[in-house]
Amino acid sequence: MTHYETILPQLYEILKPFAQDGQTLSDETELVADLDLDSMKVMEILLEVEERFDISIPLNVIPDVRTIKDFACQIEQLTEQK
Amino acid sequence: MTALLDKFRQLADAREALTQLSQDPFRVTIEQILSPTEARVNGRPMILAGTNNYLGLTFDPQCIEAAVQAVQEQGTGTTGSRMANGSFSGHLALEQELAEFFGRRWCDVFSTGYLANLGVIAALTGPGDVILIDADCHASIYDGCRMSGAEVIRFRHNDVADLYKRLRRLGKRCANTLIIVEGLYSMLGDRAALAEIAAAKREYGAYLLVDEAHSLGVLGERGRGLSEEVGVEDSIDFIVGTFSKSLGATGGFCVSDHSEVDLARYVSRPYIFTASPCPSVIASTRVALHKLRTEPALRVRLWNNARRLYDELKGLGFRLGPDPSPIIAARFGQKEETIAFWNELLQRGVYVNMILPPAAPDGGSLLRCSVSAAHTPDQIDTICQAFRSVKAALEV
């Protein structure tokens, strides 16, 4: 199992409370468009992800994160830099 | 495919919705300004309780006289950058006076406080560096961070444990890290946990910048800000401040013992590519700084007013910041309630700042007062009475 594959289920777990009723999450799910996240919710999620993976996510990378896959890739990179 | 200006549609709708509830709170016109604390708005007299004019020096006769003399002798503007057009002697004199006031070797003066943060942060840091900022920092700090190209990491507001955690994660990169906090936070008037933050900075070998915009002339025995009040000035690498609050003018500065602050002039675009401050602004600021240093009674009056308004509003049951300060913000839940309250205050002749989402911390709404040394006891009474009466009328 790759590092990415271990990150993905943990990310789904964190994002699940933000999914709409009956919505299934996949790595192509878009954080803002599909989950309807506002900036406050995004910040809340970032803090939880940072705790879970013991990383700090720079604000600079956020504009590049559109889908759950993008998010998992960023987490993978940041954990590998540790 | 959307056209260039389509993005404004959402904003237009939001403004339309707002003006259905109220007059546009962001287009209030001060028809006549009468004093540091009084104006005429919509044809009626108004007590100004949201000016940031902490020491009330905007109408000080000596500040005005100095500004008038400077206009007469040096003209209305500098018409260009100090890099291209040269510095006026007043620019250099003010830099020297600020450096001396703070006990630092170097000072750069900028045309506004916003530009000071942009200019200093973007000059000090760049790609490969890290900036650790308190989440509640001012927009000028965020914009400076973006301009720098450095990696920007937020820590939870005033959460020293979170700051430590992030410093630990950075490891050796701490040597390339600039921590940025504010002395007094502009929305709620709360202080940075500066003693602990300075200790973290020392432990990890990072650099520390404190924006004393709202604390200059307000905190510290000599008015040098929170760094002085807490007794950690030796641990602060860079202090940024503004002339637009306690000093009653417009402009900004950075003081430091790092000689690189002087070199920053050559690379700081917000310093280079804008017109330097007007002679009149520099002249009134120099007099105001002298008053800040020599008239501690101003600070005493300011704090008497601040404590009184804080205690009164707290007694009325408003949810305020954690400690008294000249920034006293009442938290509200619903935007509509906040707008209605603000309008009613205006009807009663009291002007305060209304802060709506997303500008307020935690996504809430605020009615923010800022107290001045120039407020009279009667004016503070009127402000308290207005809050009491609107609270009763709206049953909030």
Q: Which of B160, B273, A67 is nearest to A75 (CA)?
A: A67
- Nearest CA-CA distance, residue A47 and chain B, Å: 9
Whether residues A39 and B145 touch (CB distance < 8 A) is answered with no
Within 8 A by CB and 6+ apart from B121, the residues are B131, B141, B144, B145, B147, B148, B178, B180, B209
Contact B73, B89 (CB under 8 A): no
Averages of pLDDT over runs of 10 residues in chain A (82 residues) are 88 92 89 85 91 96 93 94 76
Count of CB pairs separated by less than 8 Å, A with B = 24
Contact B187, B157 (CB under 8 A): no
Predicted TM-score (pTM) of the model is 0.96
Enumerate the residues of chain B whose CB falls inside 8 A of the CB of residue A39: 358
Quickly list H helices, B86-193: 89-102, 113-124, 139-148, 160-170
Predicted local confidence at residue B17, as pLDDT: 87
Q: Identify the helix (H) or strand (E) that includes residue B133.
A: strand B130-134
Predicted local confidence at residue B229, as pLDDT: 98
Whether residues B151 and A57 touch (CB distance < 8 A) is answered with no
Within 8 A by CB and 6+ apart from A81, the residues are none
- Nearest CA-CA distance, residue B148 and chain A, Å: 11
Whether residues A59 and B145 touch (CB distance < 8 A) is answered with yes
- Nearest CA-CA distance, residue B151 and chain A, Å: 6
Q: Which of B68, B52, B29 is nearest to B374 (CA)?
A: B52
Q: Identify the helix (H) or strand (E) that includes residue B203.
A: helix B194-204
Predicted local confidence at residue A39, as pLDDT: 78
Predicted local confidence at residue B358, as pLDDT: 80
**How does pLDDT run across B254-273, given as a tens digit for each residue?**
999 999 999 999 999 999 99
Whether residues A55 and B169 touch (CB distance < 8 A) is answered with yes
The strand order across the sheet containing B151-155 reads B106-110, B252-256, B238-242, B207-211, B177-182, B130-134, B151-155
| ipTM of the prediction | 0.92
Whether residues B169 and A39 touch (CB distance < 8 A) is answered with no
Most A CBs within 10 A among B147, B153, B178, hence the mutation to make, goes to: B153
Whether residues A56 and B170 touch (CB distance < 8 A) is answered with yes
Predicted local confidence at residue B360, as pLDDT: 82
Predicted local confidence at residue B73, as pLDDT: 98
**CA–CA separation, B240 and B261 (whole Å):** 11
- Which sequence positions of B are flagged as catalytic? 186, 214, 245
Predicted local confidence at residue A1, as pLDDT: 64
Q: Which residues pair with B331 in a beta bridge?
A: B319, B366
Q: C-alpha distances in angstroms, B58 versus A54, B94, B284? A: 50, 18, 9
**CA–CA separation, B192 and B215 (whole Å):** 11
Q: C-alpha distances in angstroms, A78 versus A49, A71, B155? A: 11, 11, 17
Mean predicted lDDT score pLDDT of chain A: 91
Predicted local confidence at residue B362, as pLDDT: 77
- Nearest CA-CA distance, residue A32 and chain B, Å: 17
Q: C-alpha distances in angstroms, B27 versus A2, B31, B326? A: 56, 12, 24
Residues in chain B predicted with pLDDT less than 50, given as ranges, are none
Could you give the 3-state DSSP secondary structure of residue B204? helix
Q: DSSP code of A67?
A: B
**How does pLDDT run across B2-43, given as a tens digit for each residue?**
899 999 999 999 888 888 877 777 778 999 999 999 999 989
**Amino acid at position B162, single letter:** D
The count of other CB atoms within 10 Å of the CB of residue B16 is 10
Q: Supply the DSSP string of B291-305, one letter for each residue.
A: HHHH-HHHHHHHHHH
Enumerate the residues of chain B whose CB falls inside 8 A of the CB of residue A79: none
Query: Does residue B358 have a cis bond before it (omega within 30 degrees)?
Result: yes
Q: Which residue of A has its CA nearest to B361?
A: A40
Q: Which residues of A touch B (CB under 8 A)?
A: 39-40, 43, 47, 54-60, 82
The two three-digit tokens of residue B314, written as one number: 């707290």
